[in-house]
Amino acid sequence: MFRSERADLSTQPVSGAGDAGQAAVELALLLPMVVVLVLGVLQVAIVGRDQIAVELAAREAARAAAVSADPAGAARGAASRVTALTPLDVEVAVGTSTVTVVVRHVNSTDVALIGHLVGDVDLTARATMALEPP
């Protein structure tokens, strides 16, 4: 009996000997998912930044239109001055006591891997200001 127990013990692997490449395999499996996750977060941050820029453009365009004799021209000029996003679609609606400006921009999602999966995002912002005499 002693010989058979000894034979069984000698064929068992030493503790930790089979785990030599485990960390490398886990890294190889998880690294692509982590990279895609980071790129997704980056794309969301870029779209968020551009949405804030469109909102700023709408606010500034509405303010410029509210105090100008030419509301449409002033709104377009103000919107293009405050942001580098192009093209901006600026619509101006003048009421009896207010002016409303709607600014639209199509954000092209161009972050690697993620941009092709998500598609372009339409960003819209609306701002209304009270009309003031020029």
CA distances in angstroms from 100 to 69, 93, 94, listed in the order given: 15, 5, 6
pLDDT interval class at 2 (50, 70, 90): low
Cα separation, 115 vs 124, in Å, equals 20
Written as one letter, the residue type at 109 is: T
pLDDT at 114: 83
Cα separation, 61 vs 80, in Å, equals 9
Q: Where are the domains of the chain?
A: 23-130
Cα separation, 102 vs 67, in Å, equals 17
Between 100 and 2, name the one with better pLDDT: 100
pLDDT at 6: 55
Between the ranges 30-34, 59-63, 119-123, where is the mean pLDDT highest? 59-63
Q: In sequence order, which residues have a C-beta less than 8 Å from that of residue 1 and are 6 or more positions away? A: none
pLDDT digits (tens, 9 = 90+) for 57-110: 999 999 999 999 999 999 999 999 999 999 999 999 999 999 999 999 999 988
Query: Helices marked H in the chain — which ranges?
Result: 2-11, 22-66, 71-82, 114-118
Cβ-contact 105, 84 below 8 angstroms: no
pTM, two decimal places: 0.77
Cα separation, 100 vs 128, in Å, equals 4
Between 2 and 41, name the one with better pLDDT: 41
Only one residue has tokens 């960390």, namely 23
Residue 16 DSSP code = T
Cβ-contact 58, 125 below 8 angstroms: yes
pLDDT digits (tens, 9 = 90+) for 5-26: 555 555 655 565 567 788 888 8
